[in-house]
Each structure stands twice: as C-alpha cells, then as structure tokens.
C-alpha cells in the first residue's frame, strides 16, 4: 500500500473495457532448409544426438523397470522412473540456447531435461572449465568412476559424466549427482545450471520465482526456467508463483537499477495428460493452456503455444523469449506441446487413451521426423544419423554398466554413526555475509533510523536502577529486540531480503519491521501478494541460488497454506542435494491470541515433526534478539515462532537487559528462569510467564519450590539441563499454548521418561491447550493453560497440594473420558 500509488476514483470508475491481444499458437513455420542460416551442420546433428541420448536413456529405464534387464544385462531398480519418452525435442529445444547461468527447475519427469541441459552446458563450457567442475564436484567422486574407461576428448568425458551422474543418482548410488539422496525425481546438478526437480508436482512453480528474484535482486546473470507439467497448471504453488512473479511493483516501484520484470519463463511441458487426467477437455477449462497468460498482466505474460514436437520451433521460441526476459519484460509463459509415449510410470496400464491416439503421435515422432528432415534437406546422410544413434547407445550402455555395479557404484553407508544423513540434514554453518565484499544496499545510515533513535530512549531492561518494574512501553520489548537484530543483519549481508504480506510501510503484521521501510530499498523489503505458499516457496528458491531470505507468515495458522513449501521443500533440499546446497531461510510465524479458532494456534509440533527444520520459540527479548542473530547467520532453515501475547514483553531475566550490540543465543539450550527444589516446570513460548505465576502461587500457598525452565528451542534440543534439574526435583510438568494432543510437549515428556526414568517420582505431566477450537478471547482461559491449570495438574497427578481444592478436573478419569471422546 504505497502512498505513491494513488487510486483515483475518477479513473477507476470510468467506463471502459479490457482489450486482449491474440496469443500465438504454433506460429513457427520454417523448414530445416530455411534454418540453414541459423544452424551449422554440427548443431543440426547435435540436436539429434541429444534427443537420441535422452530416448535411449529412458528406453533403458523403461526396459529395466518392466523386464528387469536391458541389452541382456539384468538389474532391478526398486525406485521410481517417470519417463518422458516422446518429449525429447521439447527438452533439447529448451536447453539448446541456455547457458550454464540459465537455471532450470523441474518436476518428477525431468530425466530428459537434466540430460538435455547437461549436454548443452558441455557445449558451452571450455575444457578447463569442464574439468574443474568435474574434479571439484564432491571431490571428483563421480568423475573417478567415469574416468576409468574414459578415452577421447574432455567433452566426451563430460558427456559420460552427465549420463552416469544422472543414472547413478536415479539408482541411489553415492557417486550420483546428489549422493543418491535425491533419486529419480529430485536429481540435479547446479554447476550446469540444473537445479532441483520436484516430486511434488508444481513444486517448482514458486521455487523458480525465488531463483529469479535472486538473480534480479543481486544482479546475477542468466534466466530461470520453471518446468511444470500441464496438469500441474492447476496447482496452488504455480498460481501463487505466477502472481508473485508478475507483481506490478517490479516494473513500477523498484529503483532504476532493479526495475523490470523477473528473468523467468514458466515452461509448461504440455503432454496433454496428468497421470491419467486430461487437462484440455477434462480437468481444466482453458481450452488451450497458453490462454492462462491472458488474465495475469497487461503483457499477457508474452504467452505462446509452441510445437514442442519440433526442436527447431522450441529453439526459435527460446531465442525470442530470452530476449523478452533479458530486456526486463518477463516473466514469460510458454505452452510447449509435446506427448509422452511411455506411461506415467512403467506400471501405467494406459486405460485413459486410445491406441489410435498413440499411433497418431508415433507417426510424428521427432526422433524419426527430424532426422528425416535433415537427410531430406541434404544436411547429412542417413549413415550419419545411424552413427549418432549408435553413439547414444554406447554412451548409455557405458553409464548403465557402471551404475548397476555395486563395486563401482556403492550406495552411501547410512548405518554407521555418524552417517551421511547425520551430517547433511543440517549444514550448521555460520556465515556473516553470503556475498562478502559487496556493500549492502540501504537508504540511510543505520544510526539515522527513526526507530533506532526512538528505541535509544527506552530502557533495555524491565527494571530501572532501583529495581522497580517499568511500564512495558518504556522498555525494549520482544518486537523491538527482533527489529534490532534484523536491521543489523540487513547492514551486514547484501543478499538478505525480507518479504511477506504487509511487510513494507505497515511494518510487518505486528510491527516488528517498523523502521525497515525507511532503511531499505524495495528490492530488499517488499510486500508480497497474499500467497503464503509462494512466499515460503520463493524463499526456498532464493536460498538455493545462494541468498538469504527472511519471510513472515502473519499467523501460525497460515502455515497450512504454505504446508508443502515448509514441510516438503524448505526442510528437504539440503539433504536431497547430498549436502551440496544450503538453506538459509528464516520463516517467522506468529502465534496469535484473541482472534479465535483460525488465528490462535501453536503448530510447533507440526514443524518439529518434520526432519530438516530448526524450530525455535524465544519468550524473552534477550533470546529473541540473540536467536534471530543465530538464525540470520546460520545456513539452515529456521521456523521462528513468536507469540503475539508477549511482543511488548521487556527483559526480566538478564541483568542489564537486552544488549545494544550483537550477540548470539545458540539453538538447543533450555535455560533456567527460576531455580527451585521440588518440581521442574518446562515451558515453550509464552506460557513461561504463566508458569512463573504458578510457581509464585505454589511457593506462597503450598511451600512448593519450583524450578522454571524455558525450552527456547525445540529442534535442536539438549535434554541434559532438564535431566540435571530432575536430579534435584524428581518431578516435571511441561506446558505450552499448543493443543495438548500430539504436541511437542508430549514428545518431550516421552523422551524425558526414557532418558531419566530413574530420576522421576512421577510421570511427566503435560499441560497444553485443550483439544478444541480456540474460543473467543473472553473465555480463552477455559482453553489455554493458566496457572490454575498447572496447579490442578500438579495436585491431581504429581503431588497432592496441602489444602488445595481442584478448580477444573483433570484427573485420570477425566483424561480417559476426554481421550475416549476425542477431546
């Protein structure tokens, strides 16, 4: 909502109509002979060679899956193989003009795209560059395998490298492109511009937008291609990605050096089918997919349908569209028609299409038609084509023999501790700046920031010199502490960007970013469309390319809208890359209160359940600032929980309050907030303050001395301090605002029982929120844990409190009733 965009009622209420321009459909009409001026003979032939390699590679996989053998050599492949036999010309045509700085992101059916892009990159790189890439990639592990019987040129060796690296990855071998941790649907090889492929269809629809944002914001060369299937054009990430990619602000509000559309092509690989559902005529209503571009922006996304069965038509389109995105007029939408002869997977019975249709497409098979055109135009002889087909056979056979041999291509050892996955689930690095030497772009010196000046007048602690409690508004609160760390990082890491809904001007949903608008140009802090999935998904792409992103989801409840991006993308790419890539993304989520059932939930357990995410929940300003520093200098994805109840909370625990300068609070260490002898209360998030109140009441009325610990972090979490506390107290209660069933508290309680059974006089007791919807604020004390709930639970389950009468029954009988009724 920038004030510069004046919405004039006279203009917007005026009569008019929206005009559309025609969307070109299969307009390419040059013959091979006419293309002689654009392609040299070697290039014409290389197009066929590459298509032949793709065809042979996938035919081999099909045979292996269907019959367990290829060319008489047996192999059982247990994993998936989603084949794109028939789609070779679309992949080779796409890759032909792309350089290594042009990055492709794809889907579950990407073997062809990987090989085509790899083969194209080999043409673009000189021998020294190729050798350096192959030698450096995982210390040359893949190269060592292909070198064994490699003879011929460096380029020949590199071809073997690409084909073997991809196949070894598909077969789950350690020398594969991603150490076998990606597999068929996720294989990729960044040095050749081949970026993650996604088994969650449409998953690249927003990740690629983040990659393009990275290139644009940081002035990196190249363009980004999102390869998405036609049926996946319906997916949320694709739509949200398109919306994020076409925001008007890139062309209107961003400063001159960054103005212009994203360098991005949404390449819909239109094979006319999903698995069996048929978008044109059945599951979608667009008639032709290219129509989608029409409604998105005035440029209609430069949408076009092109004939992907003709490699030259695809190359022609890429030549034209590359120019469009390079002049800052992107993104582009291409509807690249093609056809797969293979089933969705080898087990596909193909009940959804007719033999006639298949035969009709076989008649125009690019692997037959294109070489015939070359011969007819006198560009080469049939013998030369035959030789290329034989060469493709040899290349794939060499790779196949090596990739199936366990002696040559062993699998990663995942049984010895610490194994590969132990080492790569998190990268655990500290990096101050992801582009050292580049000055961060800011608008004003840090000290001139209006909020920094305002905060200078506040107390850093909750107490004055005499130890008297100050009013919250006179102190630095959690909101301010977060701001200080974030602002500081913007002046340290030039790649850092923050975006989300209402991040600019408004100051972030809950005011954490107030003061950032004055400090940062648009391209480092911007409002995103209401597209939580794309907000997180694009952050993933931004990080995969080498940047650092801080994104905000207003309410924790909206995590559901970004479920795939948080649970399947953010969490997994470090490990699925074999440890090659980092994921420095911080997702801020705020746990609400007062706003009822869909704005008040604490979903820490959902995040903690997913391997690959770090999950923290600071409850004090000191921790909020120190943990934000840790998050924004780390290299792992962090889901950073905040609670709206305590944004104004000043520092009560650390003497001197929140330090003005920089410091870090490492993840994983719980902290004792109040010492005690008789009972430990372990809290997550804002219940810390209610637990302290309960402890005061227990001490006063029952003489029970409580030790209160603040978990601060859920993943990682070191249980040692809790066990030490139990050595004293021998009893523990755990509390947080999350609904009790399946909460992280339950995980902790079970783990504590297992680790410290001997030290416990009673089982750990969990006091979470009730397993209901969150009711209205006026009655929320019936739902969230309050001190009396803690006292009730202690009295009924841990130790009877002298003279205490239960306020709300939580006896064993009552818990049995609740469980039996699903409450």
Q: Which residues bind ligand TPP (CB under 6 A)?
A: 108-109, 199-201, 229-232, 269, 271, 273-275, 344
Do 712 and 627 form a contact (C-beta atoms < 8 A)? yes
Q: Is 336 helix (H, G, I), strand (E, B) or coil?
A: strand
Q: Which does 507 bind (CB under 5 to 8 A by kind): Mg ion, ligand TPP, none?
A: none
The CB-of-188 to ligand TPP minimum distance in angstroms stands at: 17
Q: Which of residues 244-303 bind Mg ion (CB under 5 A)?
A: 271, 273
Say if residues 536 and 501 touch (Cβ distance below 8 Å).
Answer: no
CA-wise closest residue to 377 among 387, 365, 369 = 369
Residue 501 has φ and ψ, to the nearest 5°, of -80, 135
Segment contacting Mg ion by CB under 5 A, of 228-236, 260-268, 287-295, 546-554: 228-236
- For the annotated catalytic residues, the residue numbers are 599
Q: Which does 200 bind (CB under 5 to 8 A by kind): Mg ion, ligand TPP, none?
A: ligand TPP
Interaction between residue 630 and Mg ion (CB under 5 A): no
Minimum CB–partner distance for residue 140 and Mg ion (Å): 37
Under rule CB under 5 A, residue 488 binds Mg ion? no
Return the number of the residue (91 or 200) whose C-beta is nearest ligand TPP: 200
Chain length of the chain: 823
For residue 275, the partner it binds in ligand TPP, Mg ion, none, with Cβ less than 5 to 8 A by kind, is ligand TPP
Considering the complex, state which of residue 276 and residue 668 has its C-beta at the smaller distance from Mg ion.
Answer: 276
Residue from 50, 58, 113, 230 binding Mg ion (CB under 5 A): 230
202 is a contact residue toward Mg ion (CB under 5 A) = no
Residues 6+ apart with CB under 8 A from 541: 105, 206, 207, 208, 209, 210, 211, 212, 213, 214
Q: Which of ligand TPP, Mg ion, none binds 535 (CB below 5-8 Å, type-dependent)?
A: none
Comparing CB distances to ligand TPP, the nearer of 202 and 494 is 202
Which residue minimizes CB distance to Mg ion? Answer: 229
Helix/strand number for the chain, H first, E second: 28, 20
Instruction: Tell me the closest approach of the beta carbon of residue 347 to ligand TPP, in angstroms.
Output: 13
94 makes contact, choosing from Mg ion, ligand TPP, none, with CB < 5 to 8 Å by partner type, with none
As measured in angstroms, the least distance from the Cβ of 636 to ligand TPP is 25
Q: Does 176 bind Mg ion (CB under 5 A)?
A: no
Q: Decide whether 120 or 271 has the Cβ nearer to Mg ion.
A: 271
Q: Considering only CA atoms, which of 822, 801, 675, 677 is closest in space to residue 740?
A: 822
- Strand partners of residue 745: none
Helix, strand or coil, per DSSP, at residue 605: helix
Dist CA 528 CA 345 (whole Å) = 37
CB of 746 to ligand TPP, least distance (A): 29
How far apart are alpha carbons 745 and 357 in whole angstroms?
A: 57
Tell me how far apart the alpha carbons of residues 242 and 236 are, in angstroms, rounded to a whole number: 10
Nearer to ligand TPP, 86 or 637 (CB): 86
Of 278 and 433, the one with the shorter C-beta distance to ligand TPP is 278
Q: How far is the CB of 606 from Mg ion (least distance, A)?
A: 31
Smallest distance, Mg ion to C-beta of residue 348, A: 13
231 vs 509 by CB, closer to Mg ion: 231
Q: How far is the CB of 532 from ligand TPP (least distance, A)?
A: 16
CA dihedral 568, 574, 575, 581 (to 10 degrees): 140
Strand partners, 104: 194, 225
Nearer to Mg ion, 305 or 674 (CB): 305
Nearest residue to the partner ligand TPP, using Cβ: 229
480 contacts 455 by C-beta, under 8 angstroms: yes
Q: For residue 362, give Cα distances in angstroms to 368, 381, 409.
A: 9, 23, 36
Give the range of 172-180, 204-212, 223-231, 769-777 binding Mg ion by CB under 5 A: 223-231
Q: Are 235 and 202 contacting, i.e. CB atoms less than 8 angstroms apart?
A: yes
Q: What is the closest distance, in whole angstroms, from the C-beta atom of residue 230 to ligand TPP in the complex?
A: 4
Please write down the HEC assignment for all residues of 71-86.
CCEECCCCCCCCCCCC
Name the residue nearer to Mg ion (CB basis): 280 or 669: 280
Task: State the binding partner of 225 from Mg ion, ligand TPP, none, CB within 5 to 8 A by kind.
Answer: none
424 binds, among ligand TPP, Mg ion, none (CB under 5 to 8 A by kind): none
User: Considering CB distances under 5 to 8 angstroms, the limit depending on partner class, which of ligand TPP, Mg ion, none binds residue 232?
Assistant: ligand TPP
Residue 154 CB neighbour total at 10 angstroms: 18
Residues in contact with Mg ion, counted by CB under 5 A, come to a total of 5
C-beta of 276: minimal distance to Mg ion in Å? 10
List C-alpha distances in Å: 514 to 31, 504, 632, 648. 60, 8, 18, 14
- Which of these, 679, 690, 599, 585, lies nearest to 640 by C-alpha position? 585
Phi, psi angle pair for 447, to nearest 5°: -70, -20
498 binding partner (options Mg ion, ligand TPP, none; Cβ < 5 to 8 Å by kind): none
Q: Based on CB atoms, which residue is closest to ligand TPP, 86 or 618?
A: 86
Smallest distance from ligand TPP to CB 118, Å: 19
Judged by beta carbon distances under 5 to 8 A according to partner kind, the member of Mg ion, ligand TPP, none in contact with residue 108 is: ligand TPP
The option from ligand TPP, Mg ion, none interacting with 109 (CB < 5 to 8 A, set by class) reads ligand TPP
- Does the N-terminal peptide bond of residue 716 adopt cis geometry, omega within 30 degrees of 0? yes
Alpha-carbon distance of 104 to 525, in angstroms, equals 26
Smallest gap, in angstroms, from Cβ of residue 232 to ligand TPP?
A: 3
Give the residue, chosen from 229, 346, 621, 685, that forms a contact with Mg ion under the rule CB under 5 A: 229
The candidate with the shortest Cα–Cα distance to 425, out of 588, 667, 610, 639, is 610
Rounded distance between C-alpha atoms, residue 289 and residue 296, angstroms: 13
Residue 427 contacts Mg ion per CB under 5 A = no
Q: Which does 199 bind (CB under 5 to 8 A by kind): ligand TPP, Mg ion, none?
A: ligand TPP
Exposed / middle / buried, residue 244 (Cβ in 10 Å: 0-12, 13-18, 19+) = buried
Distances (CA, A) of 175 to 13, 163, 164, 260, 412: 63, 12, 9, 41, 9
Residue 201's binding partner among Mg ion, ligand TPP, none (Cβ under 5 to 8 angstroms by kind) is ligand TPP
Residue whose CB is less far from ligand TPP, 134 or 199:
199
Q: What angle do CA 250, 256, 259 make, to 5 degrees?
A: 20
232 vs 713 by CB, closer to ligand TPP? 232
Q: How far apart are CA 469 and CA 652, in angstroms?
A: 9
Report the C-alpha gap between 138 and 270 in whole angstroms: 35
Q: Would you count residue 112 as binding Mg ion (CB under 5 A)?
A: no
Report the residue number, 169 or 230, with the smaller CB distance to Mg ion. 230
Minimum distance of ligand TPP from residue 332's CB (angstroms): 19
Inter-residue contact 497 to 435 (CB < 8 Å):
no
Helix (H, G, I), strand (E, B) or coil at 789: helix
The sheet carrying 103-107 orders its strands as 194-198, 103-107, 224-229, 264-270, 332-337, 304-307
Residues that bind Mg ion (CB under 5 A): 229-231, 271, 273
């Amino acid at each position: 909502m920038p004030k510069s965009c004046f919405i004039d009622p006279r203009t917007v209420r005026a009569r008019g109509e929206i005009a559309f321009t025609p969307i070109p459909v299969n307009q390419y009409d040059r013959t091979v002979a006419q293309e002689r001026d654009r392609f040299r003979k070697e290039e014409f032939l290389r197009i066929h060679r590459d298509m032949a390699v793709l065809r042979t590679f996938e035919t081999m996989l099909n045979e292996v899956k269907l019959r367990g053998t290829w060319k008489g050599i047996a192999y059982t492949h247990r994993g998936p193989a989603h084949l794109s036999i028939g789609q070779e010309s679309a992949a080779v045509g796409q890759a032909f003009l792309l350089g290594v700085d042009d990055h492709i992101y794809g889907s579950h059916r990407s073997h062809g795209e990987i090989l085509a892009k790899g083969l194209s990159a080999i043409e673009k790189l000189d021998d020294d560059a190729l050798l350096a890439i192959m030698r450096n990639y995982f210390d040359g592990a893949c190269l060592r395998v292909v070198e064994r019987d490699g003879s011929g040129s460096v380029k020949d060796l590199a071809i073997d490298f690409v084909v073997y690296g991809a196949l070894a990855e598909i077969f789950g071998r350690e020398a594969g492109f991603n150490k076998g941790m990606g597999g068929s649907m996720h294989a990729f090889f960044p040095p050749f511009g081949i970026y993650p492929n996604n088994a969650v269809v449409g998953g690249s629809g927003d990740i690629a937008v983040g990659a393009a944002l990275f290139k644009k914001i940081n002035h990196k060369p190249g363009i980004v291609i999102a390869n998405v299937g036609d049926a996946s054009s319906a997916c949320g990430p694709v739509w949200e990605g398109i919306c994020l990619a076409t925001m008007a602000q890139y062309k209107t509000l961003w400063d001159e050096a960054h103005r212009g559309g994203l360098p991005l092509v949404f390449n819909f690989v239109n094979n006319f089918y999903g698995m069996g559902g048929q978008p044109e005529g059945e599951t979608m209503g667009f008639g032709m997919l290219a129509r989608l571009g029409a409604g998105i922006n005035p440029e209609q996304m430069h949408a076009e349908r092109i004939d992907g069965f003709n490699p030259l038509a695809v190359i022609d389109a890429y030549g034209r569209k590359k120019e469009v995105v390079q002049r800052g007029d992107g993104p582009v939408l291409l509807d690249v028609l093609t056809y797969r002869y293979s089933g969705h997977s080898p087990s596909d019975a193909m009940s959804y299409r007719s033999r006639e249709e298949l035969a009709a497409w076989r008649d125009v098979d690019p692997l037959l038609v294109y070489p015939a055109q070359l011969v007819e135009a006198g560009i080469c002889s049939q013998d030369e084509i035959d030789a290329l087909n034989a060469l493709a056979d040899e290349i794939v056979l060499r790779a196949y023999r090596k990739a199936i041999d366990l002696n040559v291509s062993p699998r990663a050892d995942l049984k010895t501790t610490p194994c590969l996955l132990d080492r790569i689930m998190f990268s655990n690095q500290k990096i101050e700046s992801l582009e050292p030497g580049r000055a961060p772009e800011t608008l004003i010196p840090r000290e001139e920031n209006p909020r920094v000046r305002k905060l200078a007048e506040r107390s850093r602690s909750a107490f004055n010199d005499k130890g008297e409690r100050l009013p919250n508004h006179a102190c630095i609160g959690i909101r301010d502490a977060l701001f200080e760390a974030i602002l500081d990082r913007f002046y340290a890491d030039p790649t850092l960007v923050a975006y989300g809904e209402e991040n600019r001007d408004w100051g972030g949903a809950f005011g954490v970013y107030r003061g950032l608008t004055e400090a940062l140009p648009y391209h480092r802090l911007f409002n995103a469309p209401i597209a939580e999935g794309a907000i997180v998904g694009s952050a993933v792409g931004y990080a995969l390319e080498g940047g650092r992103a801080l994104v905000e989801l207003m309410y924790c409840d909206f995590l559901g809208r970004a479920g795939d991006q948080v649970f399947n993308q953010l969490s997994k790419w470090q490990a699925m890359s074999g440890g090659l890539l980092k994921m420095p993304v911080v997702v801020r989520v705020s746990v609400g209160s007062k706003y009822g059932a869909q704005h008040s939930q604490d979903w820490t357990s959902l995040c903690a359940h997913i391997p690959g995410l770090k999950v923290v929940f600071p409850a004090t300003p000191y921790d909020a600032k120190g943990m934000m520093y840790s998050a924004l200098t780390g290299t792992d994805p962090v889901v950073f929980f905040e609670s709206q109840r305590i944004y104004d909370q000043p520092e009560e625990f650390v003497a001197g309050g929140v330090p003005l300068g920089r410091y870090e609070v490492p993840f994983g260490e719980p902290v004792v907030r109040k010492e005690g002898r008789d009972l430990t209360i372990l809290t997550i998030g804002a219940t810390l303050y209610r637990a302290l109140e309960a402890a005061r009441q227990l001490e006063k009325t029952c003489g029970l001395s409580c030790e209160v610990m603040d978990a601060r972090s859920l993943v990682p979490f070191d249980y040692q301090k809790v066990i030490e506390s139990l050595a004293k107290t021998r009893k523990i209660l755990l509390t947080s605002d999350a609904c009790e069933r399946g909460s992280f508290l339950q995980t902790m309680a079970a783990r504590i029982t297992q680790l410290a059974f001997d030290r416990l006089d009673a089982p750990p007791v969990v006091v979470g929120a009730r397993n209901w919807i969150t009711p209205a604020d006026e009655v929320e004390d019936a739902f969230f844990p309050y001190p009396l709930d803690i006292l009730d639970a202690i009295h009924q389950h841990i130790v009877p409190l002298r003279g205490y009468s239960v306020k709300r029954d939580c006896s064993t009988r009552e818990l049995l009733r609740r469980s039996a009724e699903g409450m």
